[in-house]
Amino acid sequence: MPLRDEVGPYFGEYGGRFVPESLIAALDELDAAYQAARVDPVFQAELAQLHATYTGRPSIITEVPRFAEHAGGARIILKREDLNHTGSHKINNVLGQALVAKRLGKTRLIAETGAGQHGVATATAAALFGMECVVYMGEVDTERQALNVARMRLLGATVIPVISGSRTLKDAINEALRDWVANVDTTHYLLGTVAGPAPFPVMVRDFHKIIGDEAREQVLALTGKLPDAVTACVGGGSNAMGIFHAFLDDADVALYGYEAAGEGHLTKRHAATLTRGRPGVLHGTRSYLLQDEDGQTVESHSISAGLDYPGIGPEHAWLHDIGRATYLPITDDEAMQAMRLLSLTEGIIPAIESAHALAGTIKLGKELGPDAVILVNLSGRGDKDMETAGKYFDILDTEALEAEISEPAPDGARGDNA
Amino acid sequence: MSRVEEVIAARKAAGSGALVGYLPAGFPDLQTSIEAAVALAENGVDVIEFGLPYSDPVMDGVVIQAATQKALSNGFRLKHGIEAVAAITSRVDVPVLVMTYWNPVVQFGVDRFADELLAAGGAGMITPDLVPDEARDWLAASDRTGLDRVFLAAPSSSAPRLHQAVEKSRGFVYAVSTMGITGARADVDTAARSLVGRLRTAGATSTCVGIGISTPEQVREVFEYADGAIVGSLLVKALADGGVDAVAKAAAHLATAK
Ligand SMILES: Cc1ncc(COP(=O)(O)O)c(C=O)c1O
CATH number of A109's domain: 3.40.50.1100
The shortest C-alpha distance from A107 to chain B (Å) reads: 18
Q: What is the pLDDT of residue B71?
A: 98
Interchain contact, B103 vs A165, CB within 8 Å:
no
For residues B137 and A114, which has the higher predicted lDDT (pLDDT)? B137
Question: Residue B195: inside a domain, yes or no?
Answer: no
Interchain contact, B134 vs A24, CB within 8 Å:
no
Check whether the bond before B160 is cis (ω within 30° of 0).
Answer: no
Question: Residue A129: inside a domain, yes or no?
Answer: yes
Based on the domain organization, do A382 and A361 belong to the same domain? yes
Check whether the bond before A199 is cis (ω within 30° of 0).
Answer: yes
Question: Residue B206: inside a domain, yes or no?
Answer: no
The domain boundary, picked from A179, A204, A229, lies at A204
Where is average pLDDT lowest: A25-29, A132-136, B186-190, B199-203?
A: B186-190
Q: What is the pLDDT of residue A415?
A: 36
Residues with C-beta less than 6 Å from any ligand 1 atom:
A 88, 114-115, 117-118, 193, 233-240, 306-307, 351, 353-354, 379-380
* Chain B residues near residue A297 by CB distance under 8 angstroms: 55-56, 103
Closest-CA residue of A relative to B154 is: A22
Based on the domain organization, do A68 and A120 belong to the same domain? no
The domain boundary, picked from A166, A181, A204, lies at A204
Q: What is the pLDDT of residue A402?
A: 67
Distance in angstroms (rounded) separating the CA atoms of residues B33 and B69: 14
Alpha-carbon dihedral angle through residues A328, A333, A335, A338, given to the nearest 10 degrees: -120
Mean pLDDT per segment of 10 residues, for chain A of length 418 residues? Answer: 95 98 96 98 98 98 98 98 97 98 98 94 98 96 89 97 90 95 94 98 98 98 98 98 98 98 97 98 98 97 94 98 98 98 98 98 98 98 93 81 58 39
Q: Report the CATH number that the domain containing residue B38 is assigned in CATH.
A: 3.20.20.70
Q: Does any CB of chain B come closer than 8 Å to the CB of residue A386?
A: no
How would DSSP label each residue in A248-293? Answer: TT-TTSEEEEEEEEET-TTSSS-B-HHHH-EEEEETEEEEEE-B-T
Q: What is the pLDDT of residue A77?
A: 99
Contact (CB, 8 A) for B233 and B214: yes
Upper half-sphere CA count for residue A94 (Cβ side, 13 Å):
31
Q: What is the pLDDT of residue A115?
A: 85
Based on the domain organization, do A77 and A146 belong to the same domain? no
Mutate to test the pocket of ligand 1, among A233, A339, A381 (most ligand atoms within 8 A of CB): A233
Q: What is the pLDDT of residue A372?
A: 98
Based on the domain organization, do A193 and A128 belong to the same domain? yes
Q: What is the pLDDT of residue A408?
A: 52
Based on the domain organization, do A303 and A280 belong to the same domain? yes
Dist. CA A307 → ligand 1 center (Å): 6
The domain boundary, picked from A204, A237, A252, lies at A204
Show Cβ contacts of residue A101 under 8 Å, excluding neighbours closer than 6 positions. Answer: A109, A131, A188, A190
Question: Residue A344: inside a domain, yes or no?
Answer: yes
Give chain B's domain count.
Answer: 1
Question: Residue B194: inside a domain, yes or no?
Answer: no
Question: Residue B168: inside a domain, yes or no?
Answer: no
Interchain contact, A25 vs B153, CB within 8 Å:
no
Dist. CA A354 → ligand 1 center (Å): 8
- Secondary structure letter of residue A380 according to DSSP: B
Give chain A's domain count.
Answer: 2
Dist. CA A86 → ligand 1 center (Å): 13
Q: What is the pLDDT of residue A91?
A: 98
Q: What is the pLDDT of residue A145?
A: 86
Testing the interface with B: which of A294, A298, A299, A309 to mutate, by most B Cβ within 10 A?
A294
Mutate to test the pocket of ligand 1, among A86, A88, A348 (most ligand atoms within 8 A of CB): A88
Distance in angstroms (rounded) separating the CA atoms of residues A256 and A367: 13
The pLDDT confidence band at residue B179, using thresholds 50, 70 and 90, is confident
Q: What is the pLDDT of residue A404?
A: 60
* Burial status of residue A231 (CB atoms within 10 A of its CB: 0-12, 13-18, 19 or more): buried
| CA nearest ligand 1 atom 13, residue | A306
Q: Is the dihedral of CA B63, B69, B70, B76 positive or negative?
A: positive
Q: Which domain holds residue A312?
A: 54-87+209-391
**What ipTM did this prediction achieve?**
0.96
Dist. CA B2 → ligand 1 center (Å): 49
Question: Residue A397: inside a domain, yes or no?
Answer: no
Distance in angstroms (rounded) separating the CA atoms of residues A219 and A20: 44
Strands B173-176 and B207-210, how do they pair? parallel
Q: What is the pLDDT of residue A133?
A: 98
A283: left (phi over 0), alpha (psi -120 to 50) or beta: left
For residues B206 and A403, which has the higher predicted lDDT (pLDDT)? B206
Question: Residue A403: inside a domain, yes or no?
Answer: no
Q: Which domain holds residue B46?
A: 3-149+217-255
Question: Residue A399: inside a domain, yes or no?
Answer: no
Interchain contact, A22 vs B104, CB within 8 Å:
no
* Burial status of residue B246 (CB atoms within 10 A of its CB: 0-12, 13-18, 19 or more): middle
The pLDDT confidence band at residue B132, using thresholds 50, 70 and 90, is very high
Q: What is the pLDDT of residue A411?
A: 46
